Structure 1
Amino acid sequence: MDTKQLLAFAIDKIDDMKARDIVNIDVSEKSDITDYMVVCSGTSKRHVLSIADHLAKEARHAGQEPLGYEGQSDGEWALIDLGDVIVHVMQDQARSYYDLEKLWG
């Protein structure tokens, strides 16, 4: 998958699980680590973890093994690193506190 396909794939999979307020940020000029960050919200700890688990599982199924998966233990903020795309799934409180859209936008 190229970067644009991977971005579309990630957004589609988190949308499948009813993630809210999905935003993608092009950070290719600001970061050597990744090209895009996707930020979305879940309604509860369980919802955050379900969104992240679904994305990781579907990525593996598509042959795109996640490079990292963090935050499974607390459910406030989960991060799935797909290489050129990093997805942050957050509860509203954590999302407003860290404000990644403003930081990277």
Structure 2
Amino acid sequence: KDVSCFFLHALNYPIENIIDIFSNLPDFDRKKTKYQVEFAKKKEYTPHSCSTLKSLNICKANESKDELCLEGYYSKKLDTQKKLSHPLFYIQLKQYRNSMKNKVNKTKIEKEDER
């Protein structure tokens, strides 16, 4: 529960949305959850690294078979394959890749419109 909370805070999810996510748990208590979520936000706890998630056996990379998680990414700057070390970097890479795909698609559409 804490891991999810820290991660969602880092993504700037509103507190009420985080509480609502936990509302489906069998032991859910809105008052306690609100206190814990607000406390974590106030303390500015950060999400755990990939190595910590793996050591706690809560990393989902193998289950999801996500290529980026399992194989990492190619760093042009370092000219080497790099492993991900943090879930927030995973999100940044996914967002960057999606924005690049959108940019390429937009360029293709514009070129087709010119014809």
Same fold by TM-score greater than 0.5: no
Provide TM-score, normalisation by structure 2.
Answer: 0.26
Provide TM-score, normalisation by structure 1.
Answer: 0.28
Larger radius of gyration: 2
The structure whose residues are more often helix, as a share, is 2
Relative contact order (alpha carbons < 8 A, sep ≥ 6): 1 or 2 greater? 1
